[in-house]
Amino acid sequence: MKMDEIKGILGDHVASGKPYLKMISCGEIMISGLPYSFSLQNIGAASNEGLCVTISGDDVDSGRVRFTDLYYLKNVDGKIVPERTDFFLVPKKDGKKLYQARFTDMKLEEFSTGSAFEKTTEEEFIQAVNSQISFKVTPLFDGDDMPEVMLSIYPFADPITGSATEWKKVTSDQDYFLHNLKKGRRKMFGNRR
């Protein structure tokens, strides 16, 4: 694939000279007490300045939604090795609190068009998988509603335009997917007789 085609799909971030994080895998909803995984990839320039993971929102600030056990899922010789890190509740400049983990020694690999789009060999496929960055965190929430939190991961080399951000709902219903599947099934078959 030519660079112009790639830039057409991903934007000018590839040629910007700065890192740019893109979420490539992120669960639909955070469920209290169950691990929530998310993965991202740098689709910009390389950086050795590291990155920061944050989770914020009004319900985080008030303490209604809490998080524990942040793990960085390292790929070591083709094996996933979870590395636990501190996920501190820290104050922002406006006085509100957010969860934050800083990875100052993490290196972001430069985006490789060959490994991402033309996975013709096993080595290129492994290189693409190795360039992914994955995390796992456990939310804690016991309310009946579904508050929303902001998950944001940004590279220190370009925190404003290089960040990957997702808004996610949190539920205390550990059988959330089963309950929604049953609701959908009732809607689909409910009117039949």
Which amino acid is it at 42?
N
The secondary structure of residue 109, as a DSSP letter, is P
Residue 90 has pLDDT above 90, yes or no: yes
Residue 52 has pLDDT above 60, yes or no: yes
Find the mean pLDDT for residues 30-39. Answer: 96
User: How is domain 3-189 classified at the CATH fold level?
Assistant: Immunoglobulin-like (2.60.40)
Residue with structure tokens 């590395």? 83
For residues 142 and 173, give the distance between their C-alpha atoms in angstroms, rounded to a whole number.
9
Predicted pLDDT at 48: 94
Sorted by where each begins, the domain ranges of the chain are 3-189
Q: Comparing 70 with 188, which gets the higher pLDDT?
A: 70
Find the mean pLDDT for residues 75-98. Answer: 90
Residue 2 has pLDDT above 70, yes or no: no
For residue 4, name the pLDDT band (cuts at 50, 70, 90): low
Residue 129's closest CA among 109, 107, 104?
Answer: 109
Residue 149's closest CA among 50, 38, 24?
Answer: 38
Residue 70 and residue 101 in contact, taking contact as beta carbons nearer than 8 Å: yes
Question: Rounded to the nearest 10 degrees, how much is the dihedral formed by the CA atoms of 21, 162, 107, 91?
Answer: -110
Residue 103 and residue 84 in contact, taking contact as beta carbons nearer than 8 Å: no
Give per-residue pLDDT as tens, 133-160: 999 999 999 999 999 999 999 999 999 9
Where are any strands of DSSP class E within the chain?
21-26, 30-31, 36-42, 51-56, 66-76, 79-85, 88-91, 97-103, 132-140, 148-155, 164-171
- Provide the 10 A C-beta neighbour count for residue 94: 6
